[in-house]
Amino acid sequence: MQRPDEQARTYLVTGGAGFVGSHFADVLLAEGNRIVALDDFSTGRMDNIDHLLDHPGFELVHGDITDADLVDELASGADVLIHLAASVGVKLILEQPVRTLENNVVGTETVLKAARRHEKKILLASTSEVYGKGRRVPFSEEDDVVLGATSESRWAYAASKMMDEFYGLAYHQEYGLPVVPFRLFNTAGPRQTGHYGMVIPRLVNQALDDERITVYGDGTQRRCFCDVADAVRAIAGLAKHPDAPGKVYNVGSTEEVSIRELAERIKIMTGSSSEIVLVPYSKAYQDPGYEDMERRKPDTRRVNSLLGWSPENTLDDILNRVISYVREQRAGATASRR
């Protein structure tokens, strides 16, 4: 929360119409700040920000993060840059490897150059994917990263985000730019779509449709899901803290659940009659070499000791919220068709 003595600031949020970006905008606008949201609507959605369009502190710019002139102009008018725009989600990466690399490497380079020219603090979104096949759980920021062969597109995503981190840290080291890369672990909540593979919205939609609930592999793989509201609180805290720059931060929950158990909970909480089925990875991802992570759990001591941050919401809170959101969306869609 903004302290009363804190000044309102202007945040340029790339990917501002996306899942995380739109929640960030909600929270920071409520504190009295200004938000300039830049989005190319490749995965961002108007639905996510419709409610903000009339807000006097909100400005939407439809454009691309690789458009250097545009990014430069927007950066000059902002106090802080929050770079969330990226190609995310395993499905998208497997389908569009070239676009992923362009967005994630060239896009970040463009935003970093603009931040440097105008001497602005910049937060860079990275991902727990960079831990790759690491087995030392929980994952800590200084751990080695273990990626697979370059013939597997899946690893292009992790490598592109690692480049972003290297780039950001290099700008910090060489030019003294205040850069804060943060690694988002599995994050969930309202507005996340299942179109790009994310498991919670996919399974909730399947359960509500009484369709088969698809658990990939044997369902023993484990994840920790962080509520997007908690993740946004961490990002805002890092954006405001003067000592955050120059280090990478894990942002995620430490409450572990197996995907099988997740499916069972969703089935019970929705009162669904769906059958839970196991789908082999080869079929799920149409990629014979696909490797899933068995466990993914963050060590969050770094962000906790800097900000005193830890998640406030449990997995059940997240599921309740997502289920209500999907139900409301469906009721709205039905009403507007009448």
157 is an active site residue: yes
Pick from 216, 234, 236, 274 the residue near ligand UDP by CB under 6 A.
Answer: 216
Stretch near ligand UDP under the rule CB under 6 A, chosen from 134-142, 174-182, 208-216, 310-318? 208-216
Stretch near ligand UDP under the rule CB under 6 A, chosen from 34-42, 109-117, 147-155, 194-202? 194-202
3 state SS of 48: helix
User: Are residues 15 and 21 in contact, defined by beta-carbon separation less than 8 angstroms?
Assistant: yes
User: Are residues 127 and 87 in contact, defined by beta-carbon separation less than 8 angstroms?
Assistant: no
Say which DSSP state 242 is in. T
Stretch near ligand UDP under the rule CB under 6 A, chosen from 7-15, 44-52, 72-80, 215-223? 215-223
Provide the token pair at 179.
């850069």
Cβ density class 237-275: b for 16+ within 10 Å, e for less: bbbeeeebbebbbbbbbebbbbbbebbbebbeebebebe
Neighbours of 33 (CB within 10 A): 21
Mark 32-51 with x for binding to ligand UDP (rule: CB under 6 A) and - for no binding: --------------------
By the rule CB under 6 A, 87 interacts with ligand UDP: no
By the rule CB under 6 A, 86 interacts with ligand UDP: no
In angstroms, give the least distance from the CB of 269 to ligand UDP: 17
Size of interface with ligand UDP, in residues (CB under 6 A)? 14
In angstroms, give the least distance from the CB of 109 to ligand UDP: 24
Window 115-174: residues binding ligand UDP (CB under 6 A): none
Pick from 9, 120, 202, 233 the residue near ligand UDP by CB under 6 A.
Answer: 202
Say which DSSP state 116 is in. H
Report the alpha-carbon distance of residue 134 to residue 149 in Å, rounded. Answer: 14
Stretch near ligand UDP under the rule CB under 6 A, chosen from 99-107, 110-118, 210-218, 313-321? 210-218
Of 294, 291, 296, the residue nearest 250 (C-alpha): 296
Pick from 140, 221, 258, 304 the residue near ligand UDP by CB under 6 A.
Answer: 221
Of 45, 53, 43, 130, the residue nearest 92 (C-alpha): 43
* Nearer to ligand UDP (CB atom), residue 23 or residue 161: 161
92-95-97-103 Cα dihedral, nearest 10 degrees = -40
Window 269-328: residues binding ligand UDP (CB under 6 A): 292, 296
By the rule CB under 6 A, 186 interacts with ligand UDP: yes
* Nearer to ligand UDP (CB atom), residue 154 or residue 247: 154
Report the alpha-carbon distance of residue 295 to residue 279 in Å, rounded. Answer: 18
Please tell me which residue in 157, 216, 249, 285 is annotated as part of the active site: 157
Provide the token pair at 224.
């920790």
Instruction: Please report, as ranges, the residues that interact with ligand UDP according to CB under 6 A.
Output: 90, 186, 197-199, 202, 214-216, 221, 223, 259, 292, 296
Q: Which residues are catalytic?
A: 157
